[in-house]
Amino acid sequence: MEHVLKIENLCFTYHTLQGETEVLKDISFTLKEGEFVAVIGPSGCGKSTLFSLIANLYQPTSGSIVVRRQNEGFTSPIGYMLQKDYLLEWRSIYDNTLLGLEINHLLGESSIQRVEELLKLYGLWEFRNKKPSQLSGGMKQRAALIRTLALNPDLLLLDEPFSALDYQTRITVSSDICNLIRGTNKTVLLITHDLSEAISLADRILVFSNRPAHIIRDFQVHLTRSDDTILASRNAPEFKEYFHMLWEDLNDVRD
C-alpha cells in the first residue's frame, strides 16, 4: 500500500546573523492510511518545524517529503491545525468554517452541505451565526477543526490543538475530536506535550530528541481497554508502562 506520508533523511537548518541552528537531523518515517500518530519531544525541539515543512511553508535543507495526492485538482491534501484557533473575529462561526473552501474557490453545494453536516455533528449548528468571541474555548477549537476538515484532507497535522484549553475541557474535547476523526479514516499526526494524551489517543508514538531533533523511539501503542472512552484508555494496564517509558526517554534527552 502506498504511504500517505513518506519522509526520508529530512534535515533542516535555519540561518540567522548570529549563526546557524540545526533543527532537524536525519528524520525518516512513513505514515500508513488511517494511522493516528503522536509526536512528542522536549519543547523547542523542532516538532512544529517538521509540520511547517510537511505543509510546505518552508523548504527542507536536504531529504525528501512525499505526500500522497489522491484527489486530483485539490490544492492541498494536508489539513494543518495550528496551536491557536485563529478564528477571524469579524466572521461568524459559519463563515469561518467556510474560509478554506472560499480561498480555494470550492464553495459548491456539496462542499457547503458537508460543512453544515460537520457543524451539526460537532454540536455547533445552533451557534453558527455567533461570532467567535461568544463561544467557549472548546467550541472554538471544534470550529477550527471543521475549518480544517472542510477541505477534506487525507492527512491531518494537529499542532497541540488542545493546549489552550483547561485540563478538563482538554480531555473531553481531545477524545471527542479524536473519535470523530477516527470515524473518517484520516491519517493524523499529532504534536503534544502531554504524555497521557499521546498514549491514550495515538496508535503509534514518535519520540523526538533535543535539538537537532532525530527520532529516538518509534513504537505502536496497544492498550487493552473495555470500551472507547478516554477513561478506559487511561485505565488500561499498559498505560502506566508506556507512561514510564516515555518519561524516561524525555528525561534522558534532557540531560
Partner 1 sequence: MMSEIRNQNQTKEQSKEQTEFLQKHRAYHRKIAFFRGSILCVFLALWQIAVLTNQIDPFFFSSPIELILKAKDFFTDKAFWMHTGITTYETILSFLIVSLISFAFGFVLWRYEFISKVLEPYFVILNSIPKSALAPLLIVWLGTGSTTIIVCGLSVAVFGSIVNFYYAFKECEQGKIILIKTLGGNDMQCFRKVVFPSAIPLLFSASKVNVGLSLVGVIIGEFLAGRRGLGYLIIYGSQVFLLSQVIFCILILCLIAFILYRVLQFIEHKTIAKMGVAGDRSI
Q: Which is nearer to partner 1, 42 or 153 (CB)?
A: 153
Choose the stretch contacting partner 1; rule: CB under 8 A; options: 2-10, 108-116, 127-135, 190-198: 127-135
Choose the stretch contacting partner 1; rule: CB under 8 A; options: 7-15, 74-82, 160-168, 247-255: 74-82
Q: Which is nearer to partner 1, 44 or 123 (CB)?
A: 123
| Among candidate residues 52, 43, 72, 66, the one with its CA nearest the CA of residue 12 | 52
SS3 content of the chain, % helix, strand, coil (to 5): 40, 25, 40
108: contact with partner 1 by CB under 8 A:
no
Sole binder of partner 1 in the list 30, 120, 123, 251 (CB under 8 A): 123
99: contact with partner 1 by CB under 8 A:
yes
133: contact with partner 1 by CB under 8 A:
yes
Q: Which is nearer to partner 1, 92 or 233 (CB)?
A: 92
Q: How many CB atoms lie within 10 A of CB 2?
A: 10
| Distance between CA atoms of residues 204 and 198, nearest Å | 9
Lay out the sheet containing 5-16: strands in order across.
19-31, 5-16, 62-67
Binding track over 24-43 against partner 1, x by CB under 8 A: --------------------
Sole binder of partner 1 in the list 10, 55, 145, 250 (CB under 8 A): 55
- Report in angstroms how near the CB of residue 80 gets to partner 1 at its nearest: 4
The dihedral formed by the CA atoms of 35, 114, 54 and 182, expressed in degrees to the nearest 10: -10
Sole binder of partner 1 in the list 11, 29, 86, 193 (CB under 8 A): 86
Choose the stretch contacting partner 1; rule: CB under 8 A; options: 71-79, 113-121, 188-196, 208-216: 71-79
103: contact with partner 1 by CB under 8 A:
yes
* Cell numbers placing 136: 467557549
| Distance between CA atoms of residues 253 and 161, nearest Å | 24
- Considering only the C-alpha atoms of the chain, give the largest distance between any 2 of them, rounded to a whole number of Å: 55
Sole binder of partner 1 in the list 28, 76, 152, 235 (CB under 8 A): 76
| Distance between CA atoms of residues 247 and 42, nearest Å | 11
Those residues with Cβ within 8 angstroms of residue 240's Cβ, 6 or more apart along the chain or in another chain? none
Those residues with Cβ within 8 angstroms of residue 81's Cβ, 6 or more apart along the chain or in another chain? 144, 145, 148, 156, 157, 158, 159, 161
| Distance between CA atoms of residues 63 and 26, nearest Å | 8
**Count of residues interacting with partner 1 (CB under 8 A):** 31
Sole binder of partner 1 in the list 130, 180, 182, 215 (CB under 8 A): 130
Contacts to partner 1 by CB under 8 A: 55, 57, 75-76, 78, 80, 82, 84, 86, 88-90, 92, 99-100, 102-104, 123, 126-127, 130-131, 133-136, 138-139, 147, 151
